[in-house]
Structure 1
């Protein structure tokens, strides 16, 4: 059964929808939905059946709200902007009204540290090995974090040899995913059990690539590993896209990006790209996302555009 909450959440995931057109097609007075969304007015019950019928033509389904979109941000090469992308895409999605959970699967704990969380007493590896619930820390109403630190590395071999290791994160996420619209997983710079279990738990993956010559090294191995996960463990996993990060306005970067587009033309390459910006580096030092540190900056705009592209992309 459609509800006003589901209607609002549907519009949050379909940013390009023309609200005025939907109102017209549903036979409701102009600005009825505007007032519902902006002024928290109740949509009159008499319009709900017609509105539901119209929204279903635009892709609405009750099933949209039964499971979260789970995205692994993955590249086994370090220093390409995985954590920065996870933090800032997650924050952008939350600012759009989505309920977001960030999961830190990297033993370096940089994602957790961005929000001032060091040596958390409860963390993911304990949930995976000790039959505990995923630890959830509230950053704000729409943004939550499941933290990690070096303990993940200390217990990784134990995790790797555990029965059903690659499925354990997926099972833990299933317990709480109904509470979220998006779950973003920050993967470590490796193709070990922590990355594999993240991919098994996800329905999408996003691949940040820095346009440097070294970006080509090992990328084929990453795609091969993703294919193996799709074949043997998670047939629902899709590559959402490749996103260029740490981009400089240089001919060499432009040439390398074009080479990557050509080589991986059968995959979606995001139109949005992220510049190599001092504001991102400064925000990391300050342990803040870019929207908190400098909401008017170019990378803030770029990550906001990337979040919108991920919402609207059909890949």
Structure 2
């Protein structure tokens, strides 16, 4: 099985949208998937139709109790987040083994799944470090916009530091480009520049701007359930297939 952190230090990169739809796409292929929301904004949780869960990942982190797992659909489960998670980093900063908390919580669940996807906060704090320690692979969504990759070198450097000091199995699975506007001449230049800089780490699959992706989250659904014939569904289907190929 693979545990994957989907992360970027910037907001608005399509991180949560990608977590939902990559997870749902893998589940549609008959793979058992667990989505773990560790962002205090809880957008992934709400984007799957869960509002105000009775228990969240915060309760498990704070009280060292089993992660609450909710079934979303066939082969797809969720560990929800809540706004309470906002103070979690301050609460665990003085704990011994603070970087290993999430890893220990996930261990009992790993035999039950083919993929665990962790939707990280848009920052590189203690919760994101916990996700990297618990993961085999990092996936980075980058916008198809100028300067989208600003700071990526530093982010990749932090991943390297975690690999050297906390998790020697951690790998950078790749970068995929989101919010592509195919009608803009500048878009091809941006994509070419990203590919030149990051080379074979860039996935061939690209995610086009598609209003159905935002609409699906408002309805608490994946793009495959909300608009299966949309460009968003087609793009994420190709990305899921490429992820399976690359990571296996």
What's the TM-score bracket when you normalise by the shorter of the two chains?
over 0.9
Partner of 1:108: 41
Please give the alpha-carbon distance, in whole angstroms, between the structure 1 residues aligned to 2:50 and 2:93: 25
Partner of 1:80: 13
Please give the alpha-carbon distance, in whole angstroms, between the structure 2 residues aligned to 1:159 and 1:287: 31
1:128-178 deviation line (CA, Å, top 9, x unaligned): 220100110011230000000110003321023322111111111111100
Please give the alpha-carbon distance, in whole angstroms, between the structure 2 residues aligned to 1:92 and 1:314: 15
Please give the alpha-carbon distance, in whole angstroms, between the structure 2 residues aligned to 1:261 and 1:161: 41
Please give the alpha-carbon distance, in whole angstroms, between the structure 2 residues aligned to 1:115 and 1:264: 32
Structure 1 residues 1-315: aligned runs within 5 Å: 68-249=1-182, 250-265=184-199, 267-313=200-246
SS in 1 for 2:131: helix
Tell which structure's C-alpha radius of gyration is larger: 1
SS in 2 for 1:243: strand
SS in 1 for 2:92: helix
Q: TM-score, normalised by structure 2?
A: 0.96
Q: TM-score, normalised by structure 1?
A: 0.76
RMSD: 1.2
Bigger drift between 76-85 and 247-256 goes to 247-256
Count of aligned positions: 247
Please give the alpha-carbon distance, in whole angstroms, between the structure 2 residues aligned to 1:185 and 1:290: 19
Contact 2:58 2:82 in 1 (8 A): no
Task: Flag the structure with more relative contact order, 1 or 2, with Cα contacts below 8 A and sequence separation at least 6.
Answer: 2
Please give the alpha-carbon distance, in whole angstroms, between the structure 2 residues aligned to 1:313 and 1:155: 34
After superposing on structure 2, the runs of 4+ consecutive aligned residues of structure 1 that deviate more than 3 Å are: none
Q: Tell me which protein shows more strand as a share of its residues.
A: 2
SS in 1 for 2:205: coil
Closer, same or farther: CA 287–314 of 1 in aligned 2, 3 Å: closer
Please give the alpha-carbon distance, in whole angstroms, between the structure 1 residues aligned to 2:73 and 2:226: 16
- Structure 1 stretches lacking a partner, 5+ long: 1-67
Deviation at 1:111, TM superposition (A): 0.5
Please give the alpha-carbon distance, in whole angstroms, between the structure 1 residues aligned to 2:72 and 2:164: 36
1:173-192 deviation line (CA, Å, top 9, x unaligned): 11110000000000000000
Please give the alpha-carbon distance, in whole angstroms, between the structure 1 residues aligned to 2:52 and 2:97: 27
1:87-119 deviation line (CA, Å, top 9, x unaligned): 000000000000000000100000000122122
- Structure 2 stretches lacking a partner, 5+ long: none
Please give the alpha-carbon distance, in whole angstroms, between the structure 1 residues aligned to 2:141 and 2:156: 13
Please give the alpha-carbon distance, in whole angstroms, between the structure 2 residues aligned to 1:151 and 1:104: 13
